[in-house]
Structure 1
Amino acid sequence: MDTNSEELREVLDRLVERYAWQPAKSLWILESSWRSVAGDTIANRTRILGYKPKILTIAVTSSSWAQQLQYFIPDLITKINQELHTDFVTDIHTRVNLRAFRTAQPHILIGERTYRFGKLRPKTQDLGVLLDHVKHNYHEAVAKWLQDNYHLCPHCGSPVLKPYEYCSVCETALITTKKS
C-alpha cells in the first residue's frame, strides 16, 4: 500500500472515531459485501434500505419472499455480525419496496448527471488528490453547517440543527443510558 493510501485510511479512521461514524462505516462495509454475506439467492432479491441501532431494514421483491426470508434471518444475522466482527445487528426487518430494485437512471441536468440508486465513483484515481478533496470538502461542509442553523454536537462533534442539543446518535445513547 502506498503512502497516500495509508494517509487516507488514517484520516478516514480518525474521522470515524472522532465523530462516532462507526455505524455508517459498518453499514458501508455491509453494503459492499452484501452478496458474499447473504449469498446470491438472497442478494438477488434484497437490497439494504437502512439501519437503526441493532436493526437492519432490507427491501424485498414481494411479500411472499419476505415471508420466506424469515427462515434465513437468524443465520443472516450471524453472518453479518461475523463479517463486521461486532454485534451490529440483532434483528432484520423486511419491507416490500420495488423502487429499490430499479437500475440507475441518468437524469440530465445542465452540464451534469445525477443518478438514482447508483454508486458514485471518484473523479480521480490519484489517492493524494482524493485525500485533498476529502479534507477540503470536510472543512467546507463544516463551515456551511455552522452558517446554516447547525451547531456541533457537544458529545461527538457531528452537525446538529440548532433547536436540538445533541445529534440523534448521541441523543439515543443518552436516553438508553438514562433508562439503564
Structure 2
Amino acid sequence: MEKKRLSNKTFTPIGRVLESILDQCRSDSAGGILHLRHVWENAVGPPISDNAKPFAVKGSLLLVHVSSSAWLHQLQFLKTELLDKLNLRLKNQRVEDIKFKIGPL
C-alpha cells in the first residue's frame, strides 16, 4: 500500500500560526501588552526596565516579571510612583495595581 505524500504547500508552519495568534492577542495598539511594554520602558527608565517587564494585563491589574527577589522587593517600595508614571503616559486605559513576580524577561 502506497502512502501519498501531501505537498508542503498545504501546511502552514506552526511558528507562523503562533506568531499570528500572538500578534492578535498582544497587539501594539492602545491596550495591548506590547503597547504597555513600550510605555513601561519610557516611564520607568533603563535600570528598572532592564530588570522588570510587563508580562500580562487583566482588567486594571498589571503583572510584571522581575529578574530577582531583590528587584521584586525594591519595586514594591516604588509601586505607587511607578503607577503614577505609567498612568501619566497611558491614554486609553488605567492601571490600578501592579503585581510583581519573578519570571522570564
TM-score using structure 1 length: 0.39
SS of the residue 2:96 aligns to: strand
Q: Which runs of 5+ in 2 are unaligned?
A: 1-28
1:92-131 correspondence to structure 2 within 5 Å = 92-97=98-103, 100-101=104-105
Percent identity of paired positions between Structure 1 and Structure 2: 26
Deviation of 1:36 (Å): 1.1
**Cross-structure match for 1:78:** 84
**Cross-structure match for 2:30:** 25
Q: Which runs of 5+ in 1 are unaligned?
A: 1-23, 102-180
Give the root-mean-square deviation of aligned CA atoms. Answer: 1.7
**Cross-structure match for 1:4:** none
Contact kept in structure 1, 2:30 and 2:92, CA below 8 Å: no
Between the two proteins, the alignment pairs up a number of residues equal to 76
d(CA) in 2 for partners of 1:69, 1:92: 10
d(CA) in 2 for partners of 1:39, 1:72: 13
TM-score using structure 2 length: 0.64
**Cross-structure match for 1:42:** 48
**Cross-structure match for 2:63:** 57
1:89 aligns with 2:95: yes
SS of the residue 1:36 aligns to: helix
d(CA) in 2 for partners of 1:69, 1:36: 16
d(CA) in 1 for partners of 2:93, 2:55: 19
Deviation of 1:54 (Å): 0.8
Letter in 1 for 2:74: Q
d(CA) in 1 for partners of 2:35, 2:45: 16
